[in-house]
Each structure stands twice: as structure tokens, then as C-alpha cells.
Amino acid sequence: MKDLLIQSAGVLGLVVSVIHGVLGERVVFAKARIEPERLRRLIRLVWQCGTVAWAGIAILLIAAPHMQSLAARYWIVGVGSVAYGFGVAANAWVTRGRHFGWLALAAVIGLAVSGL
């Protein structure tokens, strides 16, 4: 059961990261006016760094039950909780809790910690 919880956290984390990347490109940067173009490109790439990091952590959460090391499992969940937790805090603060992203990321943390 614990393996299923941690893998569910990984699947949800992967879904959230893909949504983050797609919405960033289709909604946020489609409307944003950032000059010069070089700066716009930089900000888009930095935005996608978060997407890639969340996806990488999600893949590690999915793989964690297959690792033979309990310490690796704890480290993956710990580092993932910090990374996703920063996203929860920042998203909830900036949007004043009106965006679903912080809830989805909090669910990832809850599932991952429950899987320990």
C-alpha cells in the first residue's frame, strides 16, 4: 500500500509538471509582453526549469519503491517535499490561494509522505 501511495504521488507530480509547462506556454507567455526578446526567452526557460525539476522528482517518486535502499526512499521523499513545498508556498502566497496548483502540489506531498 505504501508503494502505491508514493507512486501515486509521482504520477500526480508528473501530471502537475506537464500542466505547469503547458499552461505556462499557452496562457502565461502567450499574453505576456516582455522586452527585449532575449529576456523573454530567458524567463520562459527559467519557468520550464521548474517544470523539468518537478517532472524529475515525480519520476524518482515513481521509481522509489523499486530501489533497495530505504535511505534513498527517504531522501527522495524529503527532497521532493521541499521542492514541491516551495511551489505550494509560493503559489498560495502569490495567488492568495485562488489557484488550484498549490492544492495539487500539496496532495503530491501528502501522498509521498504517507508512502514512507
Count of all residues that appear for the chain in the document: 116
- The full set of domain ranges for the chain reads 2-114
> In terms of DSSP H, where are the helices of 2-65?
2-23, 29-31, 37-63
* pTM for this model (two decimals): 0.89
Query: Which tens digits make up the pLDDT trace of 16-70?
Result: 999 999 998 998 888 888 889 899 889 999 999 999 999 999 999 999 999 989 9
What is the grid cell recorded at 52? 523539468
Instruction: For residue 66, count other CB atoms closer than 10 A to its CB.
Output: 9
How far apart are the C-alpha atoms of 111 and 37, rounded to whole Å? 40
| Short-list 48, 110, 112, 50, CA closest to 83 | 50
